[in-house]
Amino acid sequence: MNAAAPGTAWRSWRRGLWVAVFAISFAYVESSVVVYLREIYFGGSFDFPIVTFWENGRHVLDRLILVEMGREAATIVMLAAAAILAGRTGLQRFCFFMIAFGIWDIFYYGWLYVILGWPESLLTWDLLFYIPLPWVGPVIAPVLIASTMTAAGTLLIALQDRGVRIRWRRVDWVVEMGCAFLLIVSFCWDWKNILRVPDGIPRTGIPVSFAWWLFVPAYLCAAIYFAVRLGQAVAAGKGGPGDGRTP
């Protein structure tokens, strides 16, 4: 393990602080937009079902839905841009993105609670994203992921500043991204019901149960695998999840 250069840790924490300020501020912008949209189009309600249109068996996307998809994509781009500007290496940029995304997501719900008193609890259902299908789940699920991303990104940067060599092998990427894909699938699992697909099966558009059977194993696998690889990095001073290069 090599000692970090003097001042490296302070510079990382200072950049991290500004990333956090950006994420918290942007979360307020995001939540306020949602407040306006809900008030204008849904009477301030966050209730399901969402409005959907089908014509000749095809899902017709309302113009505003397309705008919403663009807004969601732009949100990810902005968070990534902030992380790229803050990071000095590939690993740092990825970590700052995890931190920015995590803080933004947590404070998004925090600001909504301050403004509207919503969500009523961590088990309240929410429409998270609309790309490429509706992501639906209880609030606790995205908050859990966001908290883990923030902690993981912060820990990796702190260890790198202490001189721990961090590497991310191809197999590490495959495992973690595979788990991330399964988490997304768990949010989209009930999409036919949410969109009320006209296939002859009665659908209410109101979520009933979340795919915990898929979410929990994928989340635990990602978290445990990350912890094991990180432990190996700390013990050896090299190896572990990280900079995109192979040993």
Residue 241: predicted pLDDT:
52
Q: 215: pLDDT confidence band, cut at 50, 70 and 90?
A: very high
Q: Which residue has the tokens 């999409």?
A: 191
* One-letter amino acid for residue 234 of the chain: V
Residue 247: predicted pLDDT:
38
The pTM of this model reads 0.87
Instruction: Identify the sign of the CA torsion 34, 98, 131, 207.
Output: negative
Q: Shortest CA distance to 74 belongs to which of 38, 106, 109, 104? A: 104
Q: 239: pLDDT confidence band, cut at 50, 70 and 90?
A: very low
Q: Shortest CA distance to 101 belongs to which of 75, 128, 135? A: 75
Backbone Cα Rg of the chain: 20
Query: How far apart are the C-alpha atoms of 212 and 51, rounded to whole Å?
Result: 25
Q: Is the pLDDT of residue 6 over 60?
A: no
- SS3 label, residue 24: helix
Q: Which residue has the higher pLDDT, 150 or 71?
A: 150
Query: How far apart are the C-alpha atoms of 165 and 2, rounded to whole Å?
Result: 8
Q: 166: pLDDT confidence band, cut at 50, 70 and 90?
A: confident
| Tally of CA atoms within 13 A in the half-sphere of 157 that contains its CB | 30
Residue 245: predicted pLDDT:
45
The stretches of the chain forming alpha helices (DSSP H) are: 8-42, 63-86, 90-116, 140-161, 170-188, 191-194, 212-236
Q: Is the pLDDT of residue 7 over 90?
A: no
- With beta carbons less than 8 A apart as the criterion, state whether 244 and 91 touch: yes
How many beta carbons lie within 10 A of that of residue 134, not counting itself?
Answer: 21
User: CB within 8 A of 202, min separation 6: which ones?
Assistant: none
User: CB within 8 A of 119, min separation 6: which ones?
Assistant: 46, 109, 112, 113, 126, 139
Mean pLDDT of all residues in the chain?
Answer: 86
Q: Shortest CA distance to 50 belongs to which of 64, 36, 71? A: 64
Residue 34: predicted pLDDT:
87
The residue length of the chain stands at 247
Residue 12: predicted pLDDT:
81
Q: Fill in the DSSP letter of residue 12.
A: H
pLDDT per position as a tens digit, 20-39: 999 999 999 999 988 887 77
Query: How far apart are the C-alpha atoms of 16 and 157, rounded to whole Å?
Result: 9
